[in-house]
Amino acid sequence: MGFQVGAALLDACVLSVLQREDTYGYVLTQTLKKVLGISESTLYPVLKRLQRDGCLTTYDKPWQGRNRRYYAITAKGGDRTEVYRRDWKAYKSNVDKLLFGGDFGE
């Protein structure tokens, strides 16, 4: 993808994926990598920040003799996701008007 992914968009994508289901870091990284082309080194600081902000929580589950750390969205994270989605619709609509033509009104 030829576009930079800013922090707000990355937060919105992480929260949206986690709103569907709890998951562990590797699966989350692979999911976002397919769409955004990001690396683990990009994702983990985002997860830590969202956790520090109260948008995510973690828990461990045993798997093959080890623990996997799962990430889960909180109520605050769900609220923030809805704000991001609303803002994204407006932003996307305006960019589409710039790229493809359209009326911006007054």
CB 60 within 8 A of CB 31: no
Instruction: Give CA–CA dist 99/75, Å, rounded.
Output: 36
- The domain made up of 7-98 has a fold known as Arc Repressor Mutant, subunit A (1.10.10)
How much is the pLDDT for 106? 53
Residues in contact with 36: Cβ distance below 8 Å, sequence separation at least 6, in sequence order: 1, 5, 10, 13
CB 76 within 8 A of CB 54: yes
To the question of pTM greater than 0.75 for the whole model, the response is yes
Averaged confidence pLDDT in the chain:
92
Average of per-residue pLDDT across 35-47 = 89
How much is the pLDDT for 99? 92
DSSP states along 24-56: EHHHHHHHHHHHH---HHHHHHHHHHHHHTTSE
- pLDDT, tens digit (0-9, with 9 covering 90-100), for 47-106: 999 999 999 999 999 989 999 999 999 999 999 999 999 999 999 999 999 999 877 665
Q: Break the chain into its structural domains and give their ranges.
A: 7-98
Confidence of residue 39 (pLDDT cuts 50, 70, 90): confident
How much is the pLDDT for 5? 81
Confidence of residue 4 (pLDDT cuts 50, 70, 90): confident
How much is the pLDDT for 1? 54
